Chain A
């Protein structure tokens, strides 16, 4: 078997067309890795500048009332990560700027896609684009006549006469084509590693390893299936067109159709409905800015009782800050309910979409590729959750300062000095560890493995009775 694989590669290397296509493609791959990397670094720089600018504004506040500072707020910019230079996932369509302020959980806005006219339907020239769409086509082109050509030339019969078993030959053909994909994949990851050697961590290594693994499975599926068609059909053109048909259905049709269907099965509210529902729930709670609000009055009575005093002026604390925090906590429960509902719907959509891997391994590949490169919706939602958690800590710090910082109720002119604002920590994004989210991709990996087994079985049993001539 090893000898057949070796021979296959010798044939390939001797082919001028193959060599020129490979060299040209490797150059495009190199370009994609280099440009992807360069773009990520440039975007990181823009991100860092904006982050520093906004932080500088915050730490430069000379003096300000803490609640005014909660309205002044701060901004969080979605960071680009090193991994997204391999697969950008949803990053170009999600927003990039999120305002962190009191009373409200904002939505992330200003996506890259909204800042220009349509350019590319399939995203930027990132390695994932080439690995997902183009490399499988190259594998199809390499494999579509691998067996039929041998049949037509009589070499297959010769090999069988020399002692090789048909199954061995077919498996060897599959492996040799598959190895070509693996070589390209390894090459990309190697160049990527060299370019980012200094920033490499165990986490990146784990994620890249899983990324590699999922592509290995997919390439095996494509190579195996094409070789199978090549062995079953006498006519190479039929094998080629069949595989091209499958490629079109897998990569162009099914992902968009299934994702749209998943969105219909589990529908999200419209923005206006979502806002109205939150407003409705919010209006049932405490209004921090309205001293005559019924729930605010009840809270006042409770606090006065706790401190054993008769009026707000006798309180050693600033009740305004306390009311604001109570308002905030009620608001948080509303945001948790509504944003939580949306997250649940998105999760259901994702689960339904993942099931599509049963009929289309490309879906599983896309999911794992984005997921392992930390650029899918799951990681985006993780980022939004971290920002929201930060917002709650940030606003509580400001409200607590208003309450316990030494001012009295109603003293809105009271201001905190610069030292306090400097002490408020900046948002620090903690990258999601793959170990904590790996379970979300087990279904996709499972489908890729299942498909690989199915293709192997197809090769083993489906080619038993192939015609040698």
Chain B
């Protein structure tokens, strides 16, 4: 009962402190600004996806008009013949999008480091230049966007500090701490009850802010995301409450408590993540993609210049059905078919090269994950990024999807070339359907 009284009495402390009220209001404003930034990015990406989809639709209409007018392609490019699988598939506009999660409103994560749409062709790779991030000011990217997760990860501990730093220290400095202890019987319960009040206050504020964010992007459309974000944000808050509670419990004065709280915050928010980042960069320097460059140039040339027997052998191994086709037995027609199918072999070489890059990245991520026990802010950051599908792994999945789409496209093209498929409007529409699945 007594603890409950202390708990409610803290409300009076709070409302009588303009400094604390201003801090809470500033936090709410910053959070709303961050949520708005996340929502804007979500809208921006969706608009761009819609625009690109429309462009693809227009491209498709143009190709369909060739079939309707009995043309083989654009007049100015007489070498194009959309009635062959090679050119028809080459002219089937296929985009793969990484559709933004509504939870982007809470954290934009690594969204701005990567592209979110990719034109798929038979010579595409997940490491193409068009996979680069949107055009943006690098100084802005470097300083980061003030999103909700930034407010939570870096400003929430500071707000908590502002709300808690006077607990016990002020009473000790004013000389009535002993009186308080006598009246409340337990110093720890007294600190805990006061701390619990601010924890609850912040939880209510956070819940309100999360609900406001949910209204901006329909977060509830995605199952459990809202509750998961709430859970992780609450765990993060409790994490800092525990640290600050211990400082208050063992601390002597307001100033010393403040300095210790700030010190811990600096350590977890700045020093530790920065030191780990530096260490990772030394252990695993930036990959300059030399393996991919080698495949794009020398390996590609090597494949084009290898003997026909070797090319056939590799193609038949890749697609065993090709061996039984008519074209495989036709010494003349096989020349064009072979030439048009070489992309499949280059694609395999490219996949080997990208696998090395991805292994390199995987080991970097593993190193980072191993340091989570001493780097809690980064841990929570990546947890939130995962919830909004803006973590490195989500972009890795996106790259994997792209590779699968390229594989599928090449396979359809090679099989149809060797089976001498003639493309008409129906077939072209079928390509569109299959490749855009």
Contact = CB atoms under 8 A, between A and B. Distances in A.
A236 B378 CA distance: 33
Contacts, number: 231
A149 to B, nearest CB: 10
Given A111-B113, A241-B162, A259-B143, A124 B285 contact: no
| Residue with the greatest number of chain B CB neighbours at <10 A, chosen from A119, A123, A133 | A119
Interface string A266-291: 00111110111000000000000010
Interface string A19-56: 00000000010011001101100110111001001100
Contacts of A119: 273, 276-277, 280, 368, 378
Contact of A117 (B51, B78, B110): B110
A36 B275 CA distance: 10
A137 B266 contact: yes
Mostly, the B contact residues are helix
A360 to B, nearest CB: 12
A115 interface: yes
A132 to B, nearest CB: 10
Interface stretch (A92-100, A163-171, A425-433): A92-100
A116 B368 contact: yes
Contacts of B144: 121, 256
A120 interface: yes
Contacts of B101: none
A99 B259 CA distance: 51
A228 B309 CA distance: 84
Contacts of B278: 32, 35-36, 39, 124-126
A240 B286 contact: no
Interface in A87-140: 89-90, 92-97, 99, 106-107, 109-126, 129, 133-134, 137
Contacts of A262: 137, 140
A342 B392 CA distance: 28
Contacts of A259: 137, 139-140, 143
B154 interface: yes
B285 A257 contact: no
Contacts of B286: 43, 46, 96, 110, 112, 115
Contacts of B254: 237
B130 interface: yes
Interface string A426-462: 0000000000000000000000000000000000000
Interface string A192-231: 0000000000000000000000000000000000000000
A268 B270 contact: no
Contacts of A72: 297, 301
A260 B287 contact: no
A350 interface: yes
A346 B138 CA distance: 9
A290 B282 contact: no
Given A241-B19, A248-B158, A292-B76, A121 B137 contact: no
Contacts of B115: 271
B432 interface: no
Interface residues of B, number: 87
A352 to B, nearest CB: 11
B30 interface: yes
Contacts of B236: none
A160 interface: no
A263 interface: yes
A65 B129 CA distance: 25
Nearest to B287: A115
A181 B297 CA distance: 53
B405 to A, nearest CB: 18
Nearest to B117: A272
Interface string B155-183: 10010001001100000000000000000
Contacts of B382: 117-118
| Residue with the greatest number of chain A CB neighbours at <10 A, chosen from B146, B276, B391 | B146
B385 A118 contact: yes
Give the interface size bracket for A toward B.
Answer: 35 or more
Contacts of A268: 135-137
B127 interface: yes
Interface stretch (B62-70, B224-232, B288-296, B315-323): B288-296
Contacts of B146: 253, 256-257, 260
B288 A96 contact: yes
A169 B256 CA distance: 25
B48 A118 contact: no
A240 B134 CA distance: 41
| Residue with the greatest number of chain B CB neighbours at <10 A, chosen from A72, A137, A237, A292 | A237
Nearest to B301: A72
B289 A376 contact: no
Given A113-B141, A259-B143, 16 more contacts: A53-B290, A89-B142, A113-B110, A114-B395, A118-B391, A120-B276, A121-B269, A141-B259, A237-B258, A268-B137, A270-B135, A271-B115, A271-B130, A272-B52, A275-B130, A349-B140
Interface of B: 19, 30, 33, 37, 48, 51-52, 55, 76-78, 109-110, 113-115, 117, 127, 129-146, 150, 153-155, 158, 162, 165-166, 254-255, 258-259, 262, 266, 269-271, 273-282, 285-290, 293, 297-298, 301, 360-361, 364-365, 368-369, 378, 381-382, 385, 391-393, 395
Which A-B residue pairs are the 6 nearest by beta carbons?
A120-B273, A90-B138, A117-B392, A125-B274, A120-B277, A124-B278
Interface of A: 28, 31-32, 35-36, 38-39, 42-43, 45-47, 50, 53-54, 57, 72-73, 75, 77, 89-90, 92-97, 99, 106-107, 109-126, 129, 133-134, 137, 141, 145, 236-237, 240-241, 244, 248, 252-253, 255-257, 259-260, 262-263, 268-272, 274-276, 290, 292-293, 342, 346, 349-350, 353, 366, 370, 376-377, 380
10 contacts: A35-B282, A39-B282, A57-B298, A72-B297, A97-B293, A107-B132, A119-B368, A137-B266, A248-B158, A256-B146
